[in-house]
């Protein structure tokens, strides 16, 4: 859970899409007649726990996939990706004329 977890958390917190999403979503669930601080704390806790579970799951899946895809697979993946990108570039050049 060390440095990568902290880096991912900070990245997610600085994500402009997430900031806009929560800026639009959160006010709908606030009761303006009640104190706001406890409501914000509860929403933060629920969101933080939910995001932590989801992002930890994504990270575990990515780590498992990285272990399964060894160096031999990585070389072929790079070759196929390069071929696809070159092909798309050639097609774009041919059809743009």
Q: Residue 35: what pLDDT?
A: 93
C-alpha to C-alpha distance for 18 and 97, rounded to whole angstroms: 40
User: What would the pLDDT profile of 77-95 be if each residue is shown by its tens digit?
Assistant: 889 999 999 999 999 999 8
3 and 54 in contact (C-beta within 8 Å)? no
Q: Residue 10: what pLDDT?
A: 84
C-alpha separations of 84 from 43, 53, 78, 93 in Å: 44, 35, 10, 14
Q: Is-above-0.85 flag for pTM?
A: no
Angle CA 72–75–86, to nearest 5? 155
Nearest-CA neighbor of 5 among 55, 44, 45, 54? 55
């Amino acid at each position: 859970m060390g440095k990568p977890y902290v880096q991912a958390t900070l990245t997610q917190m600085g994500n402009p899409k997430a900031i806009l999403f929560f800026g639009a979503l959160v006010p709908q669930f606030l009761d303006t007649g009640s104190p706001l601080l406890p409501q914000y704390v509860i929403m933060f806790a629920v969101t933080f726990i939910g995001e932590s579970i989801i992002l930890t799951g994504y990270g575990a899946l990515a780590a498992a996939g990285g272990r399964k895809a060894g160096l031999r697979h990585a070389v072929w993946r790079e070759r196929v990706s390069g071929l696809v990108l070159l092909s798309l570039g050639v097609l774009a050049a041919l059809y743009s004329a």
